[in-house]
Each structure stands twice: as structure tokens, then as C-alpha cells.
Amino acid sequence: MSEGPHVAARMDDIAPFHVMDILARAQAMEAAGRDIIHLEIGEPDFVTPAPVVEAGVAALRAGHTHYTGALGLPALREAIARFHATRWQATVDPAQVVVTPGASGALLLALGLLSGPGDEVLMADPGYPCNRHFARFCEARPVSVPVDAATGFQLTLDLIDRHATPATRAVLVASPSNPTGTAIAPGELERIHAWCAARGIALIVDEIYLALTYDGGEHTAARWDDVFVVNSFSKYFLMTGWRLGWLVAPRWAMPALERLAQNLFLAAPTPAQHAALAAFAPSALALFEACKAELRTRRDFLLPALRDRGFAIPVTPHGAFYVYAECSRFTSDSQDFARRLLEQAGVAVTPGIDFGRHGGDRHVRFAYTQPLPRLAEAMNRLDQFLQT
Amino acid sequence: MSEGPHVAARMDDIAPFHVMDILARAQAMEAAGRDIIHLEIGEPDFVTPAPVVEAGVAALRAGHTHYTGALGLPALREAIARFHATRWQATVDPAQVVVTPGASGALLLALGLLSGPGDEVLMADPGYPCNRHFARFCEARPVSVPVDAATGFQLTLDLIDRHATPATRAVLVASPSNPTGTAIAPGELERIHAWCAARGIALIVDEIYLALTYDGGEHTAARWDDVFVVNSFSKYFLMTGWRLGWLVAPRWAMPALERLAQNLFLAAPTPAQHAALAAFAPSALALFEACKAELRTRRDFLLPALRDRGFAIPVTPHGAFYVYAECSRFTSDSQDFARRLLEQAGVAVTPGIDFGRHGGDRHVRFAYTQPLPRLAEAMNRLDQFLQT
């Protein structure tokens, strides 16, 4: 007689993305003929630029369809290291670079290496929801530290010190942050780094939006050689669907990371790795910079437009392509607000509850991943929606 | 003062692939001018056929570079379900298909869903080394069950029943098996299925080599709707580097698998998914069948050639592209044997210790992933090597 299927306890803690419900409903409405403005998905609307696509095409036709080594193509690891030097003046040894299946793969490698049962990983709430799920998948305890406008929605040394316990194994910082677009102050990160280093606690810095910083400098944590730095070809490099990212790791960690990568992934996708080699050419970088300029223009339109309409955005988002807007003037239930905004106005946004438990019900995230005329139309629809 | 970096306990149990040492040494010897015959890597020598490559090219140029849904392109999930029907007469609902980043992704999803701390997962030794590491990564205990020629190097109901405990959560069968190429008898798998179903124990069947069965029928476990079936575009479909596989799962598991896939991967690579749509066209299938016929010819050459030279291969490998050869007439240290074979004869093979602790020191794996003339040359070199 069957006792029924057993499911691992972790599954109770791995939540779905509420935005997927919004997306599914939006797509159903579109199929029924409604015009929907998609501001819900964390993905640029730009397709991968031609130089990168054509490098992928050339690689495929040249028969580059076999596995690469688990750490990635040597030429790509070198190009990534050079990019850290030329763009960010950080010295990275190619031997410290792991090419991964998206930043997702990099986060799984880092947390799989560093955390297990009984261990704690500190991270900001609100934050990228997968982070706490990666830690939970590894049977570690994600410790979500509430952050707000007072600290630019970032961890501080004081917050870390107050939430750390003897079980703390890693501190995860994302800068600029998803969903808030806010960056951590370089001095604060430096203090956090010193604090972690003194305690043998690993510092993981998610820099997937670093190259999409619109104001102020782009400060990479890879300038320190004992930090785990996660990055991606998805955002600045516009290669989301290719599934390619990287991890810069301390030298001591590389043999273990290689073993993990061999076993968990075998390797990152080969056509994507060859295509990414073309992403560092000056002509390709010029295209990425043009898209970045367009994103900045959109931010400069959307930010005051939302503030004018009564959304509270106390900290200017300096990077990424998100505005995390407090909507408590209109609702105390962000999921309901997002649903009604979609149904009544045809504007899809992400409810804040996807990003944690701290104030998520009073925030929604607008992703400025649509052209300016569509953003303007979204604001018109928002006006009508808020008047009804 | 630093206490030094903390590493998760799991890393003590996640072994490197010894074959990677062989490969690295082989590549160094090649760089120094030696001619090496590569029989060590589990990857066909054929590149991805043109119809699939060109579908990938067309997808890239059409701008299919964004994320897909976490479960994969609906058209691909339908094509995979149809393939189960047309090739294997198994009814699979597309809603039960998850497209994954390689079979690696499918195994991580299945074991992540089913197993955690305190849980046990039964699997054969020798077997694919990543299997025990996936279970360990999930903090479950991989229970490696020694198997030998008497059971065709496969689990049997009797073996499972003897090794099961109240903590057993899943049984993992791979057929045809890596490294042995041997298949499980359909009747035995049916008994195992009934036993698992009666106890609420999950049955996971790795069928990544199923379409590469040279003798006898191809019996898919996907004909039962309560089994987790892992498959891949890497082997039969010759798409290794694209990193694409799939999982057929029970209906009850799909919402949880979708959550896991969202968090662990976001999605499988988009260009690969579009390319794979072309892999089911009759013209593409004809090319795969031609490569399969070539692999069978190689097996029919290599198998008697190795037996004639004194390797014991008591069970004919009916599928995959491996011969798991007992070499105890020549050595009791397969790693040393593989090293000397490489150094002295320029033939790279995989030591059996990569596949488990049961008899691995007395076996080596030959992958027939080189054309017949190279296999013949390898046998000549083997003759000279064994005479010295």
C-alpha cells in the first residue's frame, strides 16, 4: 500500500515567484486581445546585438558543439579577467574565474561550497528571491536582514554585526540591488569586507548589475582576492537566454569549485561561451553602452513620473533597471494592487512580496524594460487607474 | 584574526573526476607533439548535425535570445512528449515534461525535490559518478549498491530490497548504464517499479542512452506516470555542448519542479531549445540513426578486440558508447594502468575508480568515440603496450 510520495522538507520553503502568476495572467489577457505593457520581468527588452549573435553563429557552424572544460573556455576566462582590469581597474587572475550557466550557476556554486546544514547566510530583505532559496537548497539557513531607505536598502556593517551568529558562514551583498537598484557605498563594503576577512566569513558580492550603474562609480569587489564575486552576461551584455555568467573566487576555492561545477553542470553552454568572446570587442561594448544610455533615459523619465503620482521612492536607484516604489498611499496589499493594475489598466508590475517579507506588501517593482513611449503610455494608464 | 575559510562538509565527499587528470595529461602530451587517441571522454566525436545547427542559427538571428519559461518552450515540451509516443509508444503529457540544462539539471531537480538530510537514495556501483554527488549535494545519503556481471551491472529487486531502509526515498536506475553500457531487463524494472510504488519510494530512471540501444528493445519507464525519467539531447541527439536535457515527472511533482527550476536555473538555454525543435524532424533523425549505426559498428569491432586481448567483458554492452573492461589480468590498479597506457601508448581511457568503489580498481572504461581506424590503431598500440 502506498504511503504517498515523499518530498524533501526544503520544498516547503522554496516559494514560487508571484510575478509568474502576473506574467501568466498578462499573457492570457494578450491572447484574448488586450494590450499589456510588461514592466514585470527582470530582463532587458533588447535582443542580443548582432556581433555577439554572429559570433555564436560562427561557433555553431565551426562545430563548437562539444563540452568545454568545467571552468569554461580559457580564452573566455582571460577575457573576463581583462574586462575587470580595463573597466574596473581590478586585477583578476584568469585562474580565479569560473564560467557558469548564468549567475544562477555561480550562486549555486558559491553557496554549495560555503554553506550546509546548520550554517547561516546573511542577506538583505528586500532582495533577489533566489538568493534565500539557493541557501535553503544547500540546507543552510538564509538570514534575511530587513533593510530600508535609511541604509539605501543595503546591508551595513552595523546590521551585519547585529545579525551575525557563530553559525554565520557567508554574507551576500548585491550592488546595485534587485529590486531597489541601489548601490552599496564603497566605504561600507570595504568595512564589511574587513569584518568578514577577520572572522573567516565569506563575502559574496552579486555584481550582475554593476556595469549598469548610471551615476557614480562602478566599484567591483573583485579588487580583493578573497571575495566571491558573481556576475552575468545576462544584463549589461544582453544575453539572458544564453544562460551564461561567471564567478570570481579566491584561489583556495578553485579546486573545490571545479569539482562542484563538473558534477552539477559539466560546463556552461559552449555556443554561448564562444559568442561571449565577441562581447568584449569595442564595437560590441559600444552597443551595450548605447543600450545602457537608453536605460538611463528611461529611469530619468520613470523615476519622477512615479514620484509625481504619489509613489514613495526615497532612495534614487543608481543602477539596474528597476524602480522599487512604495505604494502605501494606494494600498496595503501589493499583490492585490498589481493584480488590479493589470486587470484594469493592462500594466504588469511585480508585487514586492516576491523580494522578501520586509515591506513587500507595500511596494511594487517597475522594470523599465520597455521603450519610452510605452513607459509614457503606462503612466497614462496609471493615472486613469489611480483616479478610479 | 582570521579563523580561515569555512567549507561545507559536503565538499569532503564530492570527488573530482579522475578522468580529468587523464584528459589534462593527454592534452599536455598533445601540446608537446604526441598523437593521443581519446577514448576517455563520455562524448560522441560527431558534431551537431547541420539541420539542428541551422535551426539554432535561425533562432539566434530571429532574436530568440530572451529567457523562456522555467519549464521550457511549450513547442519543445510537446515535441519531447510526441517523441516518447512515436519512438517508444509511451503516452507522456507535455505538461509532465521539464526542459532542463542538460540531464545534469534534470537529476538536480529530481533529487532536490525528493531527497534531503537523513534520506537515502539507492543507486548502482559502478555508476555515473555525478549521481552520488547530486544526492550528497542535497544532503541525502547516496547508497551505492555493488553490482556485477551476475545482474548485468544493474540493480535488481532483490538487491534493492536488501539495501532499502525506512530512510530510502528514491531508487535511481540508469539503463543503458554508464560505464557498462548494459540495460536492465524490462521485467526486472517492472518489478522494481511496483515495489517502489507500493512503498511511496520514488523511482528515477536515467534514460540518456536509451535511444542508443543497439540490440533488443528500447523500453522507456515513461510508460508509467509515477516515475521520474531523465533524458538528454547530449548523446543520441549529439548536442552535448548545448546543455539541454529533459525530465518527465509525475503530475503531482510539476508545481514543485517548476519552483525549483525557476530558482536554480531560471530556464534552459533558449538557442538550444529552438535548435532542439529541429532534432525531431525525420531528416535529422535519419542523421542520428546513421551516427548510431556507426557507433554500433565501433562496438562490434572493439568488444571482440578487447576480449581477444585478455580484457574480461562478461556482459555484452547493448547500448551507450562504452566498454567497461576488467583488466585484472594486467593490473590491480586501474588508475596506474590508465596512466601508463597514456604515457607509453598514447591511448587515453578512464580508470574504473571514477565510477565507484566496487571493483573500480580492476576496470577501465573505453569510450568508442573515435572512428574505426583510430580504434584499430588504439588496439595496435595496446598490443605493443601489453607486450612490454
Task: Enumerate the H helices of chain B as residue ranges.
Answer: 18-31, 50-61, 74-88, 102-114, 129-137, 157-163, 186-199, 254-264, 270-277, 282-308, 334-345, 372-387
Helix (H, G, I), strand (E, B) or coil at B318: coil
Residues of chain A contacting B201 with CB distance shorter than 8 Å: 6
Q: Give the pLDDT of residue A319.
A: 97
Closest listed residue to residue A256, CA positions, set A103, A69, A110, A67: A110
Selected for mutation to probe chain B from A23, A25, A45, A66 (highest B CB count within 10 Å) is A66
- Per the DSSP assignment, residues forming a β-bridge with B141 are B120
Cβ <8 Å between B243 and A57: no
Number of Cα atoms under 13 Å in the Cβ half of residue A97: 25
DSSP E strands, A126-279: 141-146, 168-174, 202-206, 228-232, 245-248
CA of B108 vs chain A CAs: smallest distance (Å) = 7
- Averaged pLDDT for residues A278-287: 98
DSSP B310: T
User: Does an H or E element contain B100, and which?
Assistant: strand B97-100
CB B114 within 8 A of CB B125: no
% residues pLDDT > 70 (chain B): 99
Distance between CA atoms of residues B69 and B88, nearest Å: 27
**What value does the mean pLDDT take over residues B136-156?**
97
Given pLDDT bands bounded at 50, 70 and 90, which one contains residue B4? Answer: low
Q: Is B137's CB within 8 Å of A43's CB?
A: no
Confidence of residue B2 (pLDDT cuts 50, 70, 90): very low
**% of chain A at pLDDT higher than 90:** 95
Report how far residue A17's alpha carbon sits from residue A25's, in angstroms, rounded to the nearest whole number: 13
| Range A236-246 average pLDDT | 97
pLDDT at A308: 97
Residues in CB range of B126: below 8 A, 6 or more apart: B147, B153, B177, B179, B180, B324, B352, B355, B356, B358, B359, B360, B363
pLDDT digit string, tens, across residues A327-385: 999 999 999 999 999 999 999 999 999 999 999 999 999 999 999 999 999 999 999 99
Considering only the beta carbons, identify the residue of A241, A250, A266 that sits closest to B102.
A266
pLDDT digits (tens, 9 = 90+) for B353-383: 999 999 999 999 999 999 999 999 999 999 9
Q: pLDDT tens digits, residue range A188-231?
A: 999 999 999 999 999 999 999 999 999 989 999 999 999 999 99
pLDDT at B26: 93
From chain A, the residues in CB contact with B270 under 8 A are 240-243
Q: Which H/E stretch holds residue B125?
A: strand B120-125
- Chain A with chain B: Cβ pairs closer than 8 A: 242
Q: Lowest mean pLDDT: which of A21-25, A129-133, B227-231, B282-286? A: A21-25
What is the average pLDDT score of chain A? Answer: 96
With bands split at pLDDT 50, 70 and 90, how would you rate the model's confidence at A51? very high
* A1 pLDDT above the threshold of 50: no
Contact criterion met (CB < 8 Å) for B270 and A242: yes
pLDDT reported for residue B241: 96
Q: Which residues of B touch A56 (CB under 8 A)?
A: 60, 271
CA A209/CA A218 separation, integer angstroms: 10
- Does the complex come out with an ipTM higher than 0.90? yes
Average pLDDT, chain B: 96
Domains and CATH numbers, chain A: 9-47+284-387 (3.90.1150.10), 50-280 (3.40.640.10)
Rounded distance, CA B93 to CA B334, Å? 45
The pLDDT of residue A146 is above 70: yes
Chain A residue at shortest CA distance from B71: A20
In Å, how far is B120's CA from the nearest CA of chain A? 11
Kindly report the nearest CA distance between residue B387 and chain A, in angstroms.
Answer: 34
Whether residues A48 and B65 touch (CB distance < 8 A) is answered with yes
Look at residue A321 and tell me whether its pLDDT is greater than 70: yes
* Cross-chain Cβ contact B68/A241 below 8 Å: yes
Cβ pair A6:B68 closer than 8 A: no
Distance from CA of B286 to the nearest CA of A (A): 19
Separation of CA A90 from chain center: 21
Name the residue facing A242 among B104, B250, B271 (closest C-beta): B271
CA B339 to chain centre: 24
Contact, A218 vs A210, CB < 8 A?
Answer: yes
pLDDT at B92 over 70: yes
A383 min Cα distance to partner chain B (Å) = 31
Instruction: Give the mean model confidence (pLDDT) for residues A19-39.
Output: 92
> Which pTM was predicted?
0.96
Rg (CA), chain A: 21
Verify whether the Cβ–Cβ distance A113 to B11 is below 8 Å.
yes
Mean pLDDT for B283-306 is: 98
Residue B159 has pLDDT above 70, yes or no: yes
